[in-house]
Structure 1
Amino acid sequence: MKKLQLKIPVLLPQVPNEKDTCVQRLINDLEAEEGLERVHIADEKEDSVPLLCFHYDPDVISIDRIQSLAERTGAKITEKYGHLLIEVDGIRHTRHARTIEKSLLNIEGVLEASANAGGIIRLEYDKRKTNIETINVRLEKENVQVKKSSSGHENGFKCSDKTSDVLNKEEQSSQHPHHKDKDGQYLNEVDSHGAGEEHSHSHGGVFGKNIELMFAIICGVLLGIGFGLSFVAVPQWISLACYIGAYFFGGFYTAKEAVETVAKGGFEIDFLMLVAAIGAAILGEWAEGALLLFLFSLGHALEHYAMNKARKSIAALAELAPKTALLKKNGKTEEVGIEKLNIGDIIVVKPNTKISADGVVVDGQSSVNQASITGESVPVDKVPVEDIEKEYSEVDDIKDENRVFAGTINGNNTLEIKVIKAAKDSTLSRLVQLVNEAQTQKSPTQLLTDRFEKYFVPSVLILVGILLFAFLVIDEPFSASFYRAMAVLVAASPCALAISTPSAVLSGVARAARGGVLIKGGRPLEDLGELTALAFDKTGTLTEGKPKLTQVVALGDISDNELLKIAVAVESLSDHPLAKAVVRDGKERLEGEEIPDASNLEAVLGKGIKATLGNDKIYVGNLDLYEGLDKSTPSDKIATKVRGLEGGGNTTMLIRKNKEYIGIIALMDTPREAAKKTLSELKEIGIKRMIMLTGDNQKVADAVAEEIGLTDAWGSLLPEEKVEVIKKLKEKESKVAMVGDGVNDAPAMANSTVGIAMGAAGSDVALETADIALMADKLETLPFAIGLSRQSKSIIKQNLWVSLGIVALLIPATIFGFANIGVAVVIHEGSTLLVVFNALRLLAYKK
């Protein structure tokens, strides 16, 4: 396994030194994450700042991910390391992507490079040793063209002043035109194109992006003419000329790639195919050699086309946001580019048009189709915020009926929206960046097949070398041994194996994004499909997250409505969330009846309140409030009734008027409407254990669990105790996911196999820290995500069996002469295309 070690200064606000418990908490949180083997304080010091030493596996976790995890704990990793996501044209297939990876890793200062056939490259590098210009130059040498480049997240990996100075000097001395990005780094002018925008050609030339396909077709036509003429009375050299032409067009890109790879000291399948084709020509089997090159080049072109289909599914996300907005200023509206919008600007969104920026509604009411972001099929009603002057850019808990997202579609009425995020920081922009990054994260199966190939390819070459000398052992000419060796070379080439997992991961991540689920790479995609247990946070995940008035119990002669009026009058003086719930739901029940005015509010911390209503003294609170108040304590009958309601999961308020106890009000954080049905669906798809973790008392936990159908409920848990529970669950169950809001539950999520955050569209922290983010605050998205993951895992297995099975059958078939080069190459290329198109089935996965 590949391991890297690096030392990073870490800053924690208000922490005196590295021995502080906050540093230890940060280390514990980081070490819980898969891929981080060990985190500790290094011996040496730099600028009196503690140095954290990370021992990590770059195939499993990125520096950028470490940054997000550290920030979640309040730390800030100082700015030494850059994180770059580059969208390029010209990566033809998975093997070509691996060649580019190796080339980039040879640049001094590049710590990790990952490229995929979808055209996305992820880089992590030491800013003191290299820069974007060096990286761009290397990419130009690899004949790939940069379409778009972004240097990580707004809150992470910005240049330090020192690094910026170096870059500024380099920029001044450079002969090339550049412009700076937000981090003080510079990008080539070619980078200014939008994500998903068609820009340059895969190979250039008269046929543009399809030149490889055109060359393959010309090769096929020449092969067909040459083969047809061999049956007609024309000079043999005419057929030969057609075959030579077919060799040129079919072998052009194969030879180009083979030469480039060999020049760097590597061997890829292209080189092996070229050797086999040349070998066939030497033996005079021109037709078979031309057929090999035709099918190989056609297979590559179709593979490239198929992978682009999945890539375009992701690129389409970036095209959702309109390029302009109607800005309202001084009573007038003007059309401006979205990049010119500032936080606090008011934009006008006309009926049935796309919303240009993340914001809050300040005027107008409409329904908005949010399917592009959250996957919700039903439009969501939007109303203006209560305080239109308030600054909402830093507010985390904006109500769904007030918040809108860029790229969503307005309904039939005009809306005025206050911008709360710049275009580059919108939820849609972050989603596109994170989905692109997810493509480059290799899954456990892909890492396994990569390791397998490392040993398999040299073994094939040794076998071919032995077969070349078979004529010394068995009675046959060298030409027959040579032909057999070339046939085995074709048969054993692991093309299908190389593409089987990346194509499925790319398609799975793309389909999930369309359904409002962000899956951050192949590892969480595979892990999610193997889950046996799900742990849920209670408040806001399984429940609505806001208390509702459930029961009004009058004691004595007073009516329910009279009791409710007294409760609403007193509670309207308080800002407590429970008081607000009583006022909101109480007024709704009273349907416009007049509420008396209370005064002289006095709060008793954690117990309740007292106030004056007319000439009466009113007390509202729990049983503890009345224990030491005076001699008029509640009767055993009343106390039993209160405890009975609490046992059913309610929070109770006992109300007293002067010396008389007049009634009980009960509130409960009610389960989500979809909770019971969703948990039932999860059980059907094979989730054995569903556990609720909550800080509420065990009685409340049991009541909710029974109502919605959980297998376990663990109450009275502190946040750190939730972490211990997750660790214990992992010992009993093979894989455990933690489902929460991604903020309060972050430590438990880090310790689970997969952390799943709900409502991530409204939370930057959840979007950053979770392995899987459900963009909508809807529990019912969970079965779709797990079902898609199971299907992805199934398709990966199918692809592995097909690719390995074909190789296992073809090698002996070619060794013993049952299949020639023509048959071998047809089956070989057929299996490659089969696994790619099998993976594309994920794009059509239904919820």
Structure 2
Amino acid sequence: MVVHNNLGGSHTVSKSEQPTQIRRPRGERSHSGVFQSLLGHRAELIFALVCGLVLAVGWLGPKVGLMSNKSAFFFLLGAYFFGGYFALREAIAKIVSGVFQVDFLMIAAAVGAAALGEWAEGAFLLFLFAIGHALEQYAMTRAKDSIAALADLAPDVARVRCGEDIQEIALDALKIGDIVIVRSNERIPADGFVTRGTSAVNQAPITGESAPVDKRPVEDVVVTRANPDKTSAEHHVFAGSINGAGSLEIEVSRLSADTTLARVIDMVSSAETRQSPTQSFTRKFERIFVPLVIGLAIATSLSFLVFDETVADSFYRAMAVLVAASPCALAIATPSAVLSGIARAARGGVVIKGGAPLEALGRVEAVAFDKTGTLTEGEPKLVDIVPNEGSNEEELLSVAAAVESLSDHPLAEAVVRDASRRLGAPVSPATEFSSLTGRGVSAIVKGKPVHIGKSDLFAEIPGAPIPAGLDARAKDLANCGRTTMIVRHGDRYLGVIGLMDAPRKAARPVIARLRELGIRRMMMISGDNQRVADAVAGEIGLDEAFGNLMPEDKVVRIAEISKSGGVAMVGDGVNDAPALANATVGIAMGAAGSDVALETADVALMADDLETLPFAVGLSRSTSRIIRQNLFVSLGVVGFLIPATLLGLGIGPAVVVHEGSTLAVVANALRLLGYDTSFQSNLSR
């Protein structure tokens, strides 16, 4: 396809061009060579099946009189080639690097069987090992494909408006400030903000949100362009999300390599190579265990010197020990579960940066929350309107909004916004506005002075004192965590209004769900005063709240909590960065589009949606549980087979049990790819 850039030039773009590439996870086999070139990624599986076919012919041929034993030998030799080719390549590569692993044990056992003249049993061993490893690789590929599919979310090209023309250009040719045209049902090619058009955008591939998010143009393009990362959700769009029925024009705010999608792909791919504590343990275990097995096999092969048996019997049993003790299932037990867990999390809008935080989150029993923007909406709202005797709600709101409309304080903006919605009509004009720093404000409305502020203000200015009943009501509201404003118009007290950063609707059910998942202690650490923190904590069901904390105080508090066990810290990843970094697991909310949140946290909830937290915790707990199950099975099988083979269990049965356990742990791990998130929809109801 020939496309044009904004400068009038052109170049050819192939469909394979992508700005971001998935890195190959460490530990994945690479069977490059002539057979891989001819047969592709299924080469190992094809070789295993051919091994089984020629083995069957070589074993059954002489029994049914179709061929001589000499002819059958060449079929068994072919089975050795097809069954051992990839295992031998892997074993040689490991031996060259000074590592003896399971591939070496399999090859040694097969060679030993051949030395005993048991070619059919040796070929059967290689066949089961090859088919088991091929199916294991196929199963692991399913998990990796779930991650690699992220790279296919972005389209190959973007339509860019250039004056009156619309030109198609490659994604990596997009520049900040380009205007991209996105038609209905198309994938959005870049991060940016909407400048024209309205639509509902499906952001599930990026943030995990189940419902499409309505998008509309920004009010001021120049202001938004100066700080695009502060754009609200109704204006901001992400590369890889899917447009709905409307058409949109989007101004690009990030280069293709810097989009949220590109960063998620990079971090999830990197997470595959970051080992969990259990993975590190099993690798160390293998390095010690395999040489011990080789030593045990050598000792067993010499048992004819002690016991009354032939050299052949001792050698055969030694080969069976090599098979039985091979920790194949142990080697794959943890990485298969970790990879599946990370892949499932990514599909649900949660980025987990490796096996360590995945396992750690599965074990924590305490969670600490930031308040503002995490448990609450992040902006104050007018929640209480208490008219005084002789006044009414309409008069109280009208006068308060008239005065506060002249202030730029966030609380004033909340009063004006919410009062206007309730009144449904323009407020009366105010004049001669004055800010009484730390106490309140004053102005003139309808020719009379208006004072709005705390009770202390009215003790300092001339006029009637606050009525006892109204003062008591204001104190009650303050004790409930409200920011209170008493309003006096002339000599008349109109009433008191209370503002609060209201808890998210999902907060209480999320806290309840976390308790069901086994979180025993939940608390809030906040910079707000203790009274406000206690009020919010009580409303949503937290165990305790710590207020009046500076960022450095939060770090100290997290350290204290960590002494009694692991703790996860949930915040927005910006002002909570120090606390997130010092917690056992740092969890950033609303990480989509936020560089700080993505870089700081161990776990990033891409959507600004508290409901994804139970999903992340539940998935991590399921992963930890499956890892424990897999370790129990893999170690249990090895613990059973070693004495069983020493006591006479043959190579064939040992291989069946051994390879069966390997496939069992992989199948168990792959269950994580289907982890259920139905509870999230229940929380939203």
TM-score, normalising length: structure 2: 0.93
List runs of 5+ in structure 1 lacking aligned partners.
Answer: 1-84, 92-114, 120-142, 146-200
How far is the alpha carbon of 1:332 from its aligned partner? 2.5
Q: Do 2:22 and 2:151's aligned partners in 1 also have CA atoms closer than 8 Å?
A: no
Q: Does 1:779 align with 2:610?
A: yes
**Partners of 1:826 and 1:727 in 2: CA distance:** 50
Moved more, 344-353 or 384-393: 384-393
Q: Does 1:841 align with 2:674?
A: no
Q: Does 1:671 align with 2:494?
A: no
Q: Residue 222 of structure 1 aligns with which residue?
A: 54
**Partners of 2:22 and 2:393 in 1: CA distance:** 65
**Partners of 1:261 and 1:765 in 2: CA distance:** 40
Q: Aligned partner of 2:618: which letter?
A: G
Q: Residue 127 of structure 2 aligns with which residue?
A: 294
Q: Residue 510 of structure 1 aligns with which residue?
A: 343
How far is the alpha carbon of 1:202 from its aligned partner? 10
Q: Residue 407 of structure 1 aligns with which residue?
A: 240
Q: Aligned partner of 1:729: which letter?
A: I
Tell me how large the CA RMSD over aligned residues is: 1.8
**Partners of 2:450 and 2:35 in 1: CA distance:** 81
The structure-2 alpha-carbon separation of the partners of 1:88 and 1:685, relative to structure 1 and needing over 3 Å to count, comes to closer
**Partners of 1:560 and 1:695 in 2: CA distance:** 32
Aligned-pair identity in percent equals: 53
Q: Do 1:203 and 1:212's aligned partners in 2 also have CA atoms closer than 8 Å?
A: no
Which of residues 522, 545, 564 is equivalent to 2:378?
A: 545
Q: Do 2:470 and 2:495's aligned partners in 1 also have CA atoms closer than 8 Å?
A: no
How far is the alpha carbon of 1:632 from its aligned partner? 4.6
Q: Aligned partner of 2:555: which letter?
A: V
Q: Residue 741 of structure 1 aligns with which residue?
A: 572
Q: Do 2:392 and 2:494's aligned partners in 1 also have CA atoms closer than 8 Å?
A: no
Which of residues 828, 842, 846 is equivalent to 2:658?
A: 828
**Partners of 1:684 and 1:284 in 2: CA distance:** 60
Q: Does 1:561 align with 2:394?
A: yes
Q: Do 1:246 and 1:294's aligned partners in 2 also have CA atoms closer than 8 Å?
A: yes
Q: Residue 458 of structure 2 aligns with which residue?
A: 626
The structure-2 alpha-carbon separation of the partners of 1:485 and 1:438, relative to structure 1 and needing over 3 Å to count, comes to same
Q: Aligned partner of 1:680: which letter?
A: A
**Partners of 1:462 and 1:337 in 2: CA distance:** 59
The structure-2 alpha-carbon separation of the partners of 1:813 and 1:755, relative to structure 1 and needing over 3 Å to count, comes to same
**Partners of 1:589 and 1:266 in 2: CA distance:** 74
Q: Do 2:395 and 2:494's aligned partners in 1 also have CA atoms closer than 8 Å?
A: no
Q: Aligned partner of 1:826: which letter?
A: V
Which of residues 403, 421, 441 is equivalent to 2:274?
A: 441
Moved more, 754-763 or 253-262: 253-262
Q: Residue 813 of structure 1 aligns with which residue?
A: 644
* Cα displacement string for residues 775-813 of structure 1 (whole angstroms, at most 9, x for unaligned residues): 111111111111111110111011101110110111011
SS in 2 for 1:548: strand
Q: Residue 116 of structure 1 aligns with which residue?
A: 27
How far is the alpha carbon of 1:837 from its aligned partner? 1.5
How far is the alpha carbon of 1:144 from its aligned partner? 7.0
Q: Residue 13 of structure 2 aligns with which residue?
A: none
Q: Residue 456 of structure 1 aligns with which residue?
A: 289
**Partners of 1:412 and 1:391 in 2: CA distance:** 25
Q: Does 1:257 align with 2:90?
A: yes
**Partners of 2:615 and 2:106 in 1: CA distance:** 42
How far is the alpha carbon of 1:400 from its aligned partner? 0.9
**Partners of 1:202 and 1:575 in 2: CA distance:** 72
* Cα displacement string for residues 552-593 of structure 1 (whole angstroms, at most 9, x for unaligned residues): 2222433221221111111111111111111111110001x2
**Partners of 1:574 and 1:325 in 2: CA distance:** 44
SS in 2 for 1:355: coil
Q: Do 2:366 and 2:519's aligned partners in 1 also have CA atoms closer than 8 Å?
A: yes
Q: Residue 207 of structure 1 aligns with which residue?
A: 39
**Partners of 1:773 and 1:548 in 2: CA distance:** 28
**Partners of 1:306 and 1:546 in 2: CA distance:** 47
Which of residues 568, 577, 595 is equivalent to 1:764?
A: 595
Q: Do 1:202 and 1:209's aligned partners in 2 also have CA atoms closer than 8 Å?
A: no
Q: Residue 16 of structure 2 aligns with which residue?
A: none
Moved more, 694-703 or 413-422: 694-703
* Cα displacement string for residues 339-366 of structure 1 (whole angstroms, at most 9, x for unaligned residues): 1211111111111111111111111111
**Partners of 2:264 and 2:35 in 1: CA distance:** 29
Q: Residue 528 of structure 1 aligns with which residue?
A: 361
**Partners of 2:269 and 2:655 in 1: CA distance:** 33
Q: Do 1:496 and 1:831's aligned partners in 2 also have CA atoms closer than 8 Å?
A: yes
**Partners of 1:343 and 1:620 in 2: CA distance:** 46
Q: Do 1:203 and 1:209's aligned partners in 2 also have CA atoms closer than 8 Å?
A: no
**Partners of 2:491 and 2:551 in 1: CA distance:** 41
* Cα displacement string for residues 73-108 of structure 1 (whole angstroms, at most 9, x for unaligned residues): xxxxxxxxxxxx98566x8xxxxxxxxxxxxxxxxx
Q: Aligned partner of 2:604: which letter?
A: A
Higher relative contact order (CA 8 A, sep 6+): 2
Which of residues 63, 68, 77 is equivalent to 1:231?
A: 63
List runs of 5+ in structure 2 lacking aligned partners.
Answer: 1-19, 678-685
Which of residues 104, 111, 135 is equivalent to 1:271?
A: 104
Moved more, 214-223 or 324-333: 324-333
The structure-2 alpha-carbon separation of the partners of 1:250 and 1:510, relative to structure 1 and needing over 3 Å to count, comes to same
TM-score, normalising length: structure 1: 0.75
Q: Residue 689 of structure 1 aligns with which residue?
A: 521
- Give 1:607-756 correspondences, 5 Å limit: 607-630=439-462, 632-732=464-564, 734-756=565-587
Moved more, 749-758 or 804-813: 749-758
Q: Do 1:343 and 1:393's aligned partners in 2 also have CA atoms closer than 8 Å?
A: no
**Partners of 1:278 and 1:447 in 2: CA distance:** 31
Aligned residue-pair number: 657
Q: Do 2:101 and 2:287's aligned partners in 1 also have CA atoms closer than 8 Å?
A: no
**Partners of 1:203 and 1:547 in 2: CA distance:** 66
**Partners of 2:45 and 2:240 in 1: CA distance:** 35
Which of residues 168, 171, 176 is equivalent to 1:338?
A: 171
